[in-house]
Amino acid sequence: MSDSVLSRRSAWTRFTLVAVVALALDVITKIAAVAYLTPATPVPLLGDLLRLYLIRNPGAAFSIGEGATWIFTLLAVGVLAFLLIVVVPKLRHGGWAIALGLVVAGITGNLIDRLTRPPGFARGHVIDFLQLPYWPIFNIADMCVVFGAIAIMFLWLIKGIGHDGVLEKDREKAATS
């Protein structure tokens, strides 16, 4: 077992807290971006390092798949359902609770846009408004997915810890015994 194993209740509480706070931050910043930013009019925030630049993205990163928004909607629903039904109920590790909370918040934040924004249900365009040099314009939900995925890769591939807090080497020993 890893040193950050929690009770199911503690893991669920940590996961829920991270997911709710991150999702709220995403929703609030998107509302503010739409209310206060003019499309195609960049606003320097940290000089050339970070600008606010409002776009409505019909696709994924780099606007890939602009005509297939409904596919991204279905994928998001499927991944979200899998995480919430299969993975999260077995969650026992603190780091995994935070990482999965971020991923679920990010998926949910962009899914809300796809379900509720124009041009229509399951085809809505995602609000993106943060711009770094040489990087596609993104939002808080995108950051949550990326940071959560990096944390998951670190915990699983580098540290060898499963979402249930069991070290993968211990799981392998138990399976061969």
In sequence order, the 6+-apart residues with CB closer than 8 A to the CB of 102 are 18, 19, 22, 144, 145, 147, 148, 151
- Residue 3's pLDDT band, with cuts at 50, 70 and 90, is low
Domain ranges (residues) in the chain:
8-38+67-125+139-165
Query: Residue 84 CB: number of other CB atoms within 10 A?
Result: 15
Active-site pick, 3, 26, 113, 142: 142
Model pLDDT, residue 15: 98
d(CA 121, CA 31): 18
Average pLDDT of the segment spanning 28-43: 96
Instruction: Report pLDDT digits (tens) over 60-102.
Output: 765 666 777 788 889 999 999 999 999 999 999 999 999 999 9
User: Would you call 170 a catalytic residue per the annotation?
Assistant: no
Q: What is the mean pLDDT of residues 29-56?
A: 95
**Whether 48 is catalytic:** no
Q: Are 93 and 103 in contact (CB under 8 A)?
A: no
* The pLDDT of residue 10 is above 90: yes
Note the pLDDT tens digit of each residue in 125-142.
Answer: 999 999 999 999 999 999
User: Residue 150 pLDDT > 80, yes or no?
Assistant: yes
pLDDT at 169: 85
CB 112 within 8 A of CB 121: no
The pLDDT assigned to 174 comes to 76
From 3, 26, 48, 128, the catalytic residue: 128
Provide the pLDDT for residue 63: 63
CA distance 17 to 10: 10
